Amino acid sequence: MTQPPREQGVVVAAFGRQYEVRTLVGDTLLCVPRAKRSIYACGDEVEVGLTDAGHGVLEKLHPRRSLLHRADAFREKLIAANATQVVIVVATEPSFSDELISRCLCAAEAQDMAALIVLNKADLSDRLEAAHHILAPFRDLGYPIVELSAQAGAEALRPHLEEHTSILVGQSGMGKSTLTNALVPGAGAATREISTSLDSGKHTTTFARLYALDGYSRLIDSPGLQAFGLAHLTPAAIEHGFREFRPYFGQCRFRDCQHLAEPGCALQEAASGGAISARRLGLFLQIRTENEATRRLARGH
Ligand SMILES: Nc1nc2c(ncn2[C@@H]2O[C@H](COP(=O)(O)OP(=O)(O)OP(=O)(O)O)[C@@H](O)[C@H]2O)c(=O)[nH]1
Ligand SMILES: [Mg+2]
Ligand SMILES: [Zn+2]
C-alpha cells in the first residue's frame, strides 16, 4: 500500500479530539490524532497525513518552543503551544482576581515567555481607579500594562503584539474575543458562529483558536478560566515564576530553608521589610504546597 501524502502545518484550533490544521500551503484540514491519547494543543506544529478531501490524521508533533498549560491534582489542560507572549486580559468589570494574574505570570515566567497585562473596558471609567489599585503591584514588578477599550481602541495593543505569538488569557467576560475581533479582520464570524450554537448567543469561547496577524505576528484567543492550577511545575519553576523573589533564593541562613518561619529567611525578611509583597509570598508558598500535595498523590502516599 502506498503511504498517503503528508503535509506540514500548525494546529489553529483544538476542540476535544478534533483539530483544525492550517497547512504551510494554506489549506485548512479537520484532523484527528493517530494515537489514542491526544497530545496536541493549539499552536502545535505538526505533520499531517492527508486522508479525504479536507481531512487528515495527525501523525507527528514537532518539538515545542513553549507550552502553556494548567493542571490540578486530577486534570491537566494544554492551553497553547509555541506562544512567545502571554497577554493577561482583565477589565474594569466584571471584577478580577490578582491571584489569577500571579498564577498566569508564574506559568509564563516558568516557560520564559514574555508577559503583559491588558486592562480592558477603560470606557467604564468609574471603575478604573479600583482596577488601577489592584494592578499597581504588577506595574511595580515591571510588567507592562496596556489600558484600552477593546470596543473603541484595540489598536493600542497592536504594537505590543509585533513579532510575537501572543495568547490572550483571563477570566470569562474580560473581552478577549472582543479584542481578537477588533484586531483580526474577519475573526468575528468564526467565533460567533460556534458560540451561538453552543451557548445560546452568549459570547463564550469554548476552545483556543490561533489567528494570523500582519507579518510574523499571531494571536491566540482562549476560553475564559476561573482557576490556574500549577501542579505540573517543578519547585525550581515555581521559584523562577516569581521574578522579584529570584535575588533572595540562596540567601537564607539555612540552605534547606522552607521560607516559612525560619530565622534568617531572606524572603520572609524581605516581605516584612516591604521589599517584596507578603501577599505574593503567601501565594508562592500556597502554590508550592499544592504542588507537593499533587506529587504525593501521584506517588500514592
Ligand atoms: N464596555 C465595554 N464592554 C466590552 C469591552 N470589550 C468587551 N466588552 C463586553 O464584554 C463582554 C464579554 O466580552 P468577550 O469578548 O466575550 O469576553 P471573553 O473574555 O472572550 O469571554 P470568554 O470567551 O467567556 O472567556 C461582551 O458583552 C463585550 O461586548 C469594552 O472595551 N468596553
Ligand atoms: Mg471569548
Ligand atoms: Zn527562606
Q: What are the backbone angles phi and psi of residue 185, rounded to the nearest 5°? A: -60, 130
In testing the pocket of ligand 1, which one of 118, 127, 155, 174 has its CB within 8 Å of the most ligand atoms? Answer: 174
**CB of 204 closer than 6 A to ligand 1?**
yes
Give the per-residue pLDDT at 103.
Answer: 97
Q: Which residues contact 110 (CB under 8 A, 6 or more apart)?
A: 230, 233, 237, 238, 240, 241
- Using the mean position of ligand 3's atoms as its centre, give its distance from the Cα of residue 244 in Å: 14
Give the per-residue pLDDT at 211.
Answer: 95
Give the per-residue pLDDT at 35.
Answer: 81
Nearest CA to ligand 1 atom 9: 175
User: Which parts of the chain are beta strand (E)?
Assistant: 6-15, 18-23, 28-33, 45-50, 55-61, 67-71, 76-81, 85-91, 114-120, 145-147, 165-169, 209-212, 218-221
Q: Would you say residue 199 has pLDDT above 80? A: no
Nearest of 182, 173, 115 to residue 155 by alpha carbon: 182
Atom of ligand 1 at shortest distance to CA of 120?
31
Q: Would you say residue 235 has pLDDT above 80? A: yes
Which band of pLDDT confidence, cut at 50, 70 and 90, is reported for residue 53? Answer: confident
pLDDT in tens, 69-94: 998 878 888 999 999 999 999 999 99
In testing the pocket of ligand 1, which one of 93, 178, 184, 199 has its CB within 8 Å of the most ligand atoms? Answer: 178
CB count within 10 Å of CB 75 equals 9
